[in-house]
Amino acid sequence: MSIAIISPGRDVSSWVKSFKKADPSIDIQIFPDIRDKESVELVILWQHPKGILKEFPNLKLICSMGAGVDHILSDPEIPITLPITRIVDPGLTVPMTNYVVMATLNYQRQLYRYQSNQKKKVWDMTNPELEIQVGVMGVGALGSDVISKLKMLGFPVFGYGNSPKTDTDYPYFYGDELPQFLNNVNLIVCMLPLTPRTENILNLDFFRKCNKGTYIINVARGNHLVEGDLVTAIGEGIISGAFLDVFRQEPLPQEHPFWNSDKITVTPHIASVTNPNSAIPQIIENYKRIKDKKQLLNQINRILGY
């Protein structure tokens, strides 16, 4: 058994250590120093060089290093028959939910206003809380947990997704019902999977359909957001601000306008980070299942893109 980890520019030493702890017999090869491509039957990917997988003739399974798989599906040379799995783990869910709750509360309780007032030595007790109705776009494992926790805090919460759902305990909209969803909310959390249908969804046309003053939180993917359109929408007063953890180019370039905006909070893609100790048992189990021809854990639907 040989596993290749392909994640250019990323320190994967913690992954190798965790693999050795879980099963010392596993042979691990690290890109770009792949010594025996024919022995590789499973690859673990994050932002791999496109087209490289055709160099592995005996590849049986692709595993994402995280919950997202858009970085894999963007490679047109991956055979449609090759299964792809992602990581589903409470170790990803809890930090993500905590991050979204933090960003929501910071806005709702106007922390930024008070930070600014402190610098100016201003004591202003007016309007200490904003009335918000939260809309979560993307109600999979992560989005559903976010909705649950926000509801526990007493916030009105609405969900939006790609397909119909009948078992939700919150108002839910899907597909062409986006305008109705937007009409009900004034804080939007984007947790959508990145697919051709959702790429660039947070654009100027979208913002102009929002209630005036809507706040945006994006923890999904940078390519969901048309960054220049957000700057325009904030400048026009359509959008009140944003809390962003993902960007089209990471690290965010020094000259990017987001750095200097007092309406935008930037964090460096840290909302939820994969823990190798939690992820690796899933990967090893799936390798065993692929050899035994059993159903895989957390296999994605290639057609839906998630």
207-217: average pLDDT? 98
Angle separating helix axes 276-292 and 13-22, nearest 10 degrees: 60
Q: CATH homologous superfamily for 90-266?
A: NAD(P)-binding Rossmann-like Domain (3.40.50.720)
User: Tens digit of pLDDT for each residue in 87-139?
Assistant: 988 888 999 999 999 999 999 999 999 999 999 999 999 999 999 999 999 99
With cut-offs at 50, 70 and 90, classify the pLDDT of residue 21. Answer: very high
User: Tens digit of pLDDT for each residue in 226-256?
Assistant: 999 999 999 999 999 999 999 999 999 999 9
Asked whether this chain's domains 2-89+274-292 and 90-266 adopt the same fold, the reply is yes
Instruction: Classify each residue of 67-103 as buried b or exposed e, where b means 16 or more C-beta atoms within 10 Å of its C-beta.
Output: bbbbbbbebeebeeeeebbbbbbebbbeebbebbbeb
**CATH match of 2-89+274-292 with 3.40.50.720:** yes
Kindly list the catalytic residues: 221, 269
Residue 1 clears pLDDT 80, i.e. is over it: no
Q: What is the pTM of this model?
A: 0.87
Average pLDDT for the chain: 95
Domain boundaries, the chain: 2-89+274-292, 90-266
